Structure 1
Amino acid sequence: MAAPGSKAGADLRDAGVVQDIKMAAYLHGQPSPLEDAKLRRPTVIEMIGKKIEYLSKEKTLNIYGSVFLGTTAGFSGILANFIFRHCFKVNHDALKTYTSLTTLPFLSTVVSYKLFVTDALCSGKISQENCVLRSSLISLVCGVLYPSALAFSKNGRLAVKYHTVPLPPKGRVLLSWLLLCQTELKAMMIPLVFQTFAGILNGLHHYAVFESTLEETERED
């Protein structure tokens, strides 16, 4: 006759075996940490791909807006330099003046547009009206006023240096030179009008493309 203690011990072992089988079956139905990582990996890769695509679109927007206005500002600088060289009858240092009047307006436009339009758009701090206003002001200031003033000062100094025009009276240099160039200065109305419209259209387009890109990215996320 079996002892009661032996029978109780056997029952306990049987119960433990059954419990181990149930636990193994439960764990078999649940994904392991390794399987979990394998399942999450494609999702993470997809999210990273979407972020890279968004950043590339953002970079394209920055290049499109700033380089377009910078290029038109460079052409305005060339026109301004040609006008003032003709007014002051300057024939010296042509390469030097044309190089500076092309590169400086271009660089100032690109940097200003990135700081005041593209970065502000990416941070969500400006509205559509503000974006258009900033774009048009940058186009006007960096694309017309700055190259005109730069060409006026550079060629004026060359005129004084090489005595290509009579020296104006002391205290009336600016007024005399403006009177000398007043007829040719009317030609700068062409880039003035063009740069204003280019800034407005570029700001509208940049904001619209940015909004559509942002909505598409949020919808995919």
Structure 2
Amino acid sequence: MVDNPTLRTRDLQHSIPSPNVMEMLLERFQRLPELDRKFFAYGPIYLGINSAFAGLIANSFFRRVLNIAQARFTSSLPMGVLPFLSTIAGYNAVVSKPLLSGDLNCPTCVLVRGGLVASLAGGLYPILLALPINAGLATRYNTTPMPEKGNVLRFWIAVCQPVMRKLSFVLILQAIFGVYLSSKHYAIYMKMLALPPTHTDPELNG
């Protein structure tokens, strides 16, 4: 019978306490080649950097549409920092940590999660974040005539449409990179499961 590391991990989850599974996986993670360990640890940071660039691009587009020349640094700082942090936190929460705890054994689920985190936290979120920031600046500095109450929704839809069209490629690229990163992480996870057991593994001591 062919040994399937994923099935073996599922069996372990039912036969031993979850903390012991995590301990086993972390021990095997430390036995991986350094390049794999670094890619697993720092991959989300690269995804976060892409999200920061997406935030800065979205901020720049909204500033142009609303004719804002003031407070460039004030608006750019949160647009770079918040998408960066939210993407890393989101990816680690739904992909990296579940893999290292043995709670995520479905390759399709890993790819879907990676793509969704990248496109939502790293693509859509920066766009939605840039809108209120720049709307507030446009109102404060009166750079663009604000609409009357009955036309507010129509006005902001008209403002967002060209920005969304220009940033559609960012959403696609982020999703692709998220899928690629999660696929590489799952491959590293499978390599980790395929390592020969040691005397400290729960499967030997259970």
Give the TM-score category using the shorter length.
0.7 to 0.9
Deviation at 1:61, TM superposition (A): 4.4
1:55-98 deviations in Å (ceiling 9; x for gaps): 89686344233112111111101110010000111111111111
Q: Is the 8 A contact 1:87 1:181 kept in 2?
A: no
2-side partners of 1:183 and 1:52: how far apart? 46
Alignment of 1:1-221 (within 5 A): 53-54=30-31, 60-126=38-104, 127-216=106-195, 218=197
1:91-131 deviations in Å (ceiling 9; x for gaps): 11111111110110000011111111111111222211111
User: TM-score, with normalisation over the residues of structure 2?
Assistant: 0.76
Ranges in structure 2 where 5+ consecutive residues have no aligned partner: 1-26, 202-206
Q: 1:101 to 1:219 in 2, by over 3 A?
A: same
Deviation at 1:53, TM superposition (A): 2.7
Count of aligned pairs: 173
2-side partners of 1:157 and 1:217: how far apart? 58
Greater RCO, 1 or 2 (C-alpha within 8 Å, sep 6+): 2
Task: For 1:73, give the aligned amino acid.
Answer: S
Task: For 1:77, give the aligned amino acid.
Answer: G
2-side partners of 1:190 and 1:116: how far apart? 24
2-side partners of 1:135 and 1:157: how far apart? 32
Counting aligned pairs with the same residue, the percent is 30
Whichever of the two has the greater Rg, that structure is 1
Ranges in structure 1 where 5+ consecutive residues have no aligned partner: 1-49
RMSD of aligned Cα (Å): 2.5
Q: 1:51 to 1:137 in 2, by over 3 A?
A: closer
Task: For 2:124, give the aligned amino acid.
Answer: L
User: TM-score, with normalisation over the residues of structure 1?
Assistant: 0.71
